[in-house]
Structure 1
Amino acid sequence: MAGARSIELPAALADWLASHADALDTTQALASEVVPRLAEARLFAIGVPEALGGSGGDVRDAIEAIAAVAERSLTAAFVFWGHRTFIEYVLQSPNGALRERWLAPLLRGEIAGATGLSNAMKFLSGIESLQIAATQADDGWRLDGGLAWITNLRKEGFVAAAAVTSPAGGPPAVVAFRSDAAGVARSDDLDLLALRGSNTAAVKLHAVPVDEADVITHDALNWLPAVRPAFLGMQCGMSIGLARASLAAAHRLCTTTRSGLLDRVEALQGELADAVEQLQEGVADGRFKTAAAPMFRLRIALADIVQQAALLELQGSGGRAYLMNHDRNFARRWREAAFVPIVTPSLTQLQMALQKQAASAGAP
């Protein structure tokens, strides 16, 4: 496979993100604008086959696109990840009717896509039970349960994925449900410390109808490991972009005021580049589909790089970083960096999964 290309954002989008990153982080005022602006820039088409309306490439290109957005706004990148991950589910679903119905509107940003499978990924690693149950009805299934935290639940309309227990003891399935379906209740936006413009909320389902056209897969246990590299890989794009932004700022600061930090900044930039290369190679050759542990370790390593990068930016700024009129981008990136370890699956959950795997491998 050819290497993933570098992604350069259209100037209009880059300028808008730079101008509104603080508002996206601290308010809900611009939450409705993120999906349309990303769609207008054709970012959702990156990594989608041209034959299906995309611009070609693969998941590696989508990772780089999310990273490019995260360099300017982690809120927008978080929305991008949720939407593009749902698109990936549609692409990897064996259900052609689902793809025919949703792919084009998703690419155009006419409806928001919400990944909803954080619970499923934790279930797959033995961390959490499924939170939604499906029961049989005459015309399909009915869904009951809820998810406590989903991003990109756009008030103007969304379609979300969820893993569900199947009726009659069948294997878990993954289904899509619409915001306008009977029985779907979206909460108010969660009162977040940051990333407040990401349309992040909880959702409850009561007897929500779904039929065969809504089923992403009937076999979640086999399908989820295949889609997990895209789910986590694109999530890592958020860490990559944020770390690049903090390290670039730290580098600028250290060349003028604190040159003693420069070696540490450049060494961390090298670590970041190595981690990105490992991630891209693993996503490209498919190794992460059968070996999740190396990808978990990369996600943990990238989160650690983000924390170190933010600290180096702080040290490069010194006391000026605490002045409100100095550089609001630093304060925003500091808050954004606090989110990286807890986005599901959190570092604690990944470490638990690695410990379970190690214990299982060592069992007689």
Structure 2
Amino acid sequence: MEGRAPQDPADWSSLRALVRRDLEPLVGAIDQDGLYPEAVLRRFGEAGLFAHHVTGEAGGGLWNAIAGMAVVGEACLSTAFAVWCQDACAWYLSNSANTALRDSLLPEVAAGRQLGGTGLSNPMKAYAGIDTVRLTGERVSGGYVVTGVLPWVSNLGDGHVFGAIFSVPGRTGNVMALLRCGQEGVSIAQRSHFCALEGTRTVAVMVKRAFIADEQILADPAEPFLATITPGFILLQAGMALGLIRGAVAAMREADASHGAINAYLPERPDLFEEALATLEATVAELAATPHRNNPDYMRPLLEARLAAADWSLRAANAAMLHAGARGYLRDATAQRRLREAYFVAIVTPSIKHLRKELSEIEQGRGCMRLWKSIAVAG
């Protein structure tokens, strides 16, 4: 697909100003010290960043959410990932048939007053046959009692909410609910430290006989709901990649200002990535126009686009490092940070190997994420 996505840079002037003023001075502390930019995220919410895809915005709300995330990702992928977590949480709520939960929490999440995460890394891998569902529930009067551990959930803190899926022994379908950090039986702890994305407040979630009321249920059974939200869930991740690629190109051009003569001998130059970025933006924008199509014919190009986003992120960050040369090895250098960030785009669920597995299964006629087969069983 050729052409440029429908994004006018002037549309993002206010957001860019907010990024320059409030986020860019913190990027070093976010990356090196693990600073979680909570105040900045809340300001993004006040500016409407988390609301594009959930307010019935005409003319491409999901694409505008992706494009806005990319503006953040140009400066800092950690913060862009936190934006994705918040957007995904809003996406769950906006698509839920639980109108009481949706009406009470969606305005808060979309405005950044209520922060939240996703919690779907484990079940996404479980539906692909890579992992097993780690939370288990037991039906009781008025809800479920749930137990288990999720090792890594991001954008969390005291009082934050997150979507989670649990199995119920004796049933074929799973249940998806919105849990709250700090509710009785739900605790969090930071058990791991990372070489990048340390400022995303990624924690382990321990769920010990937590009562999850029916009012917290997003979908029961979960599978038809997951088929509805999965395309948007994956498409939103493109915002991180688009921003990182654009930031890497900027780093290359900055290096060229002093080393352009020698950098001209490198095999992959900024123009290559700008052309790839334009094509990728156009593809993602077209896919984002119909985010509730959930058949394999639609998912194939969607997964291919997500895979391309990861591949181009790695290539662009690698090229930025080569353009920077020895200066890219400095502890506070943009180039080495971009390289570390790019690996996250490649390994966050669905990772490159996960995407290739799904595409292989589509080619073999086995569906996508095994989700469509499970819908018939659960529904």
TM normalised by structure 2 equals: 0.86
Pair 1:79-2:56 in alignment: no
Pair 1:58-2:61 in alignment: yes
Pair 1:303-2:310 in alignment: yes
- Per the TM alignment, residue 287 of structure 1 is displaced from its structure 2 partner at its CA by 7.7
- Per the TM alignment, residue 187 of structure 1 is displaced from its structure 2 partner at its CA by 1.4
- Per the TM alignment, residue 99 of structure 1 is displaced from its structure 2 partner at its CA by 0.8
Answer yes or no: is the 8 Å Cα contact 1:239–1:302 preserved in 2.
yes
Answer yes or no: is the 8 Å Cα contact 1:254–1:260 preserved in 2.
no
Q: What is the match of residue 134 of structure 2?
A: 131
Q: What is the match of residue 372 of structure 2?
A: none
1:107-126 equivalence runs, <5 A: 107-126=110-129
Q: Deviations over 1:42-98 (max 9, x none)?
A: 211222316xxx899511110111111010111111111001100010000011011
| CA 43–287 in structure 1, closer or farther in 2 if over 3 Å, else same | closer
- Per the TM alignment, residue 285 of structure 1 is displaced from its structure 2 partner at its CA by 3.0
Q: What is the match of residue 246 of structure 2?
A: 244
Answer yes or no: is the 8 Å Cα contact 1:44–1:107 preserved in 2.
yes
Q: Deviations over 1:185-233 (max 9, x none)?
A: 2112531111211110110111111122111111322221221111111
Pair 1:99-2:99 in alignment: no
Q: What is the match of residue 273 of structure 1?
A: 278
Deviates more, 1:305-314 or 1:13-22: 13-22
Separation in 2, partners of 1:360, 1:194:
37
Answer yes or no: is the 8 Å Cα contact 2:196–2:341 preserved in 1.
yes
Pair 1:143-2:146 in alignment: yes
Separation in 2, partners of 1:317, 1:29:
26
Q: How many residues align?
A: 355
Pair 1:345-2:350 in alignment: yes
Q: What is the match of residue 189 of structure 2?
A: 187
Answer yes or no: is the 8 Å Cα contact 2:150–2:206 preserved in 1.
yes
Q: Deviations over 1:102-150 (max 9, x none)?
A: 1122123232111111222223333322111110112311111121111
Deviates more, 1:112-121 or 1:311-320: 311-320
Aligned to 2:346, the other structure's residue is in SS state coil
- Per the TM alignment, residue 331 of structure 1 is displaced from its structure 2 partner at its CA by 2.5
TM normalised by structure 1 equals: 0.89
Pair 1:40-2:46 in alignment: yes
Q: What is the match of residue 321 of structure 1?
A: 328
Q: Which amino acid aligns with 1:181?
A: Q
- Per the TM alignment, residue 20 of structure 1 is displaced from its structure 2 partner at its CA by 1.0
Over the aligned positions, Cα root-mean-square deviation in angstroms equals: 2.5
Deviates more, 1:91-100 or 1:161-170: 161-170
Q: What is the match of residue 68 of structure 1?
A: 71
Separation in 1, partners of 2:330, 2:149:
42
Separation in 2, partners of 1:17, 1:31:
8
Q: Which amino acid aligns with 1:358?
A: E
Q: Which amino acid aligns with 2:306?
A: R
- Per the TM alignment, residue 25 of structure 1 is displaced from its structure 2 partner at its CA by 1.4
Q: Which runs of 5+ in 1 are unaligned?
A: none
Answer yes or no: is the 8 Å Cα contact 2:142–2:214 preserved in 1.
no
Deviates more, 1:192-201 or 1:249-258: 249-258
Q: Which amino acid aligns with 1:119?
A: N
Bigger RCO (CA 8 Å, 6+ sep): 2
Q: Which amino acid aligns with 2:315?
A: Q
